[in-house]
């Protein structure tokens, strides 16, 4: 071969092939007027979905959020502009797909004006507690989210029912079972929905734990270990006052242990026993309790050991012990940072692995669930009856500690006896 024949080198071949390839793709696109299907997505019922671009051996990316158009979403009025509302709930509306922030209710006019300006809420959608009744004529508001201190939930839910608005109420539902029954009756007679904001039942890691426990992945669940502790500060805050809080660590943070244990099994406890201890002379515990240790016995034989404290460093942990595996959730009851591990024998060797589950905003998920239940006339997963059952058990826990004996609870055979529609799969 002569030396001066110009042979294409590898780079020239690749460039030429690329150009031909692009040319073909361009003419194909010109013919169909759209990019290759893998990029275009598919529009169905106003929603965009992409075909999988990864091999099934890789985890698949989440689909786009596909929010409802603004005018189709359920408008919420948030009642009580305290820490939870400002730090978690109002920001969560930005991630909600079916609910939107439509109105604000506060007893502090300068705070109301400042927050309304931040979130673009017009003056005619801002209310005080005194003129809350006016909200009944605001058609932009279909639901009210009650985020006031525990003892005020009864007052605020009744006011929302009177205004014929659906109500999402923060936990604990109220401070007595009597109040809870009243709230259920008031919303039922106003023909509006009532949901208690048990965010854990919408949280993706907790839902996975429920799925694993109920689906037999752990064998039979035999024991549960639940801890929700935090260290309270200022003794003057409402959480340390019985009249506003209803109790101490138990109805505030211990409630997560109780509600999550019930939700994981779908069973109702048949007996509780409890011990309460508060340090003498600590002004934080002059009116409400510090430490509560309570045990729930379930009809299937499962025992849940629960610990809650208002006076120890924050710890939020859950462990399910089954006959063939255990599952542990770190930061179980926190706003974020949940981590789920499962340990079991695989091929004769102990295998302890973390499941990677994408984080999602729990408040946005619960707001969206309620919005979808309103739109589709369904009972929410955590209706008033779910909150009442927790309050009945809380009262039995206090009675057990007071009387120093186990307390039997009404036998309830039906599974998920107080729960409504399953939370939606991610859509």
Q: What residues act catalytically? A: 171, 256
- Residues facing 412 on adjacent strands: none
Helical spans, DSSP H, in 215-296: 242-245, 249, 255-265
Contact yes or no for 251/175 (Cβ under 8 A)? yes
Closest among 137, 426, 179 to 169, alpha carbons compared: 179
DSSP 23-72: HHHHHHHHHHTS--HHHH-EEETTEEEPPP-S-TTSPPPPPP--PPPGGG
We find the least distance from the C-beta atom of residue 81 to ligand NAD, in angstroms, to be 5
Can you state the percent helix, strand and coil of the chain, rounding each to 5?
Answer: 40, 25, 35
81 binds ligand NAD, rule: CB under 6 A: yes
We find the least distance from the C-beta atom of residue 18 to ligand NAD, in angstroms, to be 54
- The correct pick among 73, 171, 207, 381 for binding ligand NAD (CB under 6 A) is 171
Q: Which stretch binds ligand NAD (CB under 6 A): 80-88, 117-125, 369-377, 384-392?
A: 80-88
Tokens of 94: 């930005």
Q: Which stretch binds ligand NAD (CB under 6 A): 29-37, 82-90, 340-348, 353-361?
A: 82-90
We find the least distance from the C-beta atom of residue 363 to ligand NAD, in angstroms, to be 8
Closer to ligand NAD by Cβ: residue 150 or 309: 150
Rounded to the nearest angstrom, the gap between the alpha carbon of residue 413 and the centroid of all alpha carbons in its chain is 26
109 binds ligand NAD, rule: CB under 6 A: no
We find the least distance from the C-beta atom of residue 84 to ligand NAD, in angstroms, to be 3
Using only the alpha carbons of the chain, give its radius of gyration.
27
Closer to ligand NAD by Cβ: residue 106 or 389: 106
Closest among 295, 275, 292, 273 to 224, alpha carbons compared: 295
Q: What are the angstrom distances between the C-alpha of 285 and each of 108, 276, 281, 290?
A: 29, 12, 8, 6
Q: How far apart are CA 373 and CA 136, in angstroms?
A: 20
292 binds ligand NAD, rule: CB under 6 A: no
197 binds ligand NAD, rule: CB under 6 A: yes
Closer to ligand NAD by Cβ: residue 85 or 96: 85
242 binds ligand NAD, rule: CB under 6 A: no
82 binds ligand NAD, rule: CB under 6 A: yes
Question: Which residue has the closest beta carbon to ligand NAD?
Answer: 82
149 binds ligand NAD, rule: CB under 6 A: yes
Tokens of 333: 């009851």
Q: What are the angstrom distances between the C-alpha of 7 and each of 12, 14, 180?
A: 9, 14, 86
We find the least distance from the C-beta atom of residue 305 to ligand NAD, in angstroms, to be 22
84 binds ligand NAD, rule: CB under 6 A: yes
How many binding residues for ligand NAD (CB under 6 A)? 18
Instruction: Please list every residue from 355 through 384 that binds ligand NAD, using CB under 6 A.
Output: none
- Residues facing 346 on adjacent strands: 349
- The correct pick among 73, 74, 76, 80 for binding ligand NAD (CB under 6 A) is 80
265 binds ligand NAD, rule: CB under 6 A: no
Cis upstream peptide for 172 (omega within 30°): yes
163 binds ligand NAD, rule: CB under 6 A: no
Contact yes or no for 206/253 (Cβ under 8 A)? no
Closer to ligand NAD by Cβ: residue 197 or 218: 197
156 binds ligand NAD, rule: CB under 6 A: no
Closer to ligand NAD by Cβ: residue 64 or 128: 128
Q: How far apart are CA 183 and CA 177, in angstroms?
A: 10
Residues that bind ligand NAD (CB under 6 A): 80-85, 107, 147-150, 152, 170-171, 197, 199, 238, 252
């Amino acid at each position: 071969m002569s030396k001066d024949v110009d042979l294409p080198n590898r780079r020239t071949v690749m460039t030429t092939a690329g150009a031909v390839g692009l040319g073909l793709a361009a003419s194909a696109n010109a013919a169909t007027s759209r990019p290759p299907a893998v990029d275009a997505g598919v529009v169905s019922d106003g929603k965009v979905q992409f075909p999988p671009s990864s091999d099934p051996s890789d985890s698949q990316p989440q689909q786009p959020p596909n929010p409802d158009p603004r005018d189709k979403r359920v408008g919420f009025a948030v009642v009580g502009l305290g820490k939870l509302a400002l730090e978690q709930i109002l920001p969560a509306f930005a991630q909600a797909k079916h609910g939107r922030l439509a109105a604000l209710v506060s007893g502090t006019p300068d705070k109301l004006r400042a927050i309304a300006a931040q979130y673009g809420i017009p003056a005619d959608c801002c209310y005080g507690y005194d003129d809350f009744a006016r909200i009944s004529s605001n058609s932009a508001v279909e639901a009210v989210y009650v985020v006031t201190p525990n003892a005020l939930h009864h007052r605020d839910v009744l006011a929302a029912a009177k205004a014929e608005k659906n109500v999402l109420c923060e936990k604990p539902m109220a401070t007595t079972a009597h109040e809870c029954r009243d709230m259920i009756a008031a919303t039922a007679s106003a023909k509006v929905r009532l949901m208690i904001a048990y965010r854990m039942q919408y949280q993706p890691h907790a839902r996975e734990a429920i799925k694993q426990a109920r689906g037999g992945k752990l064998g039979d669940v035999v024991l549960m270990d639940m801890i929700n502790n935090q260290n309270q500060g200022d003794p003057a805050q409402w959480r340390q006052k019985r009249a506003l809080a209803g109790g101490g660590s138990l109805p505030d943070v211990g409630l997560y242990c109780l509600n999550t244990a019930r939700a994981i099994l779908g069973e109702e406890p048949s007996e509780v026993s409890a011990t309460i201890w508060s340090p003498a002379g600590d002004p934080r515990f002059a009116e409400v309790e510090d430490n509560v240790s309570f045990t729930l016995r379930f009809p299937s034989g499962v025992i849940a050991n629960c610990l809650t404290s208002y006076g120890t460093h924050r710890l939020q942990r859950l462990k399910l012990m089954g006959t063939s595996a255990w599952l542990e959730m770190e930061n179980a009851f926190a706003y974020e940072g949940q981590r789920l591990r499962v340990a079991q024998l695989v091929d004769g060797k102990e295998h302890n692995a973390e499941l990677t589950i994408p984080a999602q905003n729990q408040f946005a998920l619960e707001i969206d669930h309620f919005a979808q239940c309103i739109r589709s006339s369904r009972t929410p997963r955590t209706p008033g009856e779910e909150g009442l059952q927790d309050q009945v058990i809380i009262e039995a826990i206090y009675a057990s500690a007071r009387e120093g004996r186990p307390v039997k609870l009404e036998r309830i055979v039906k599974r998920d006896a107080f729960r409504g529609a399953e939370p939606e799969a991610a859509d």
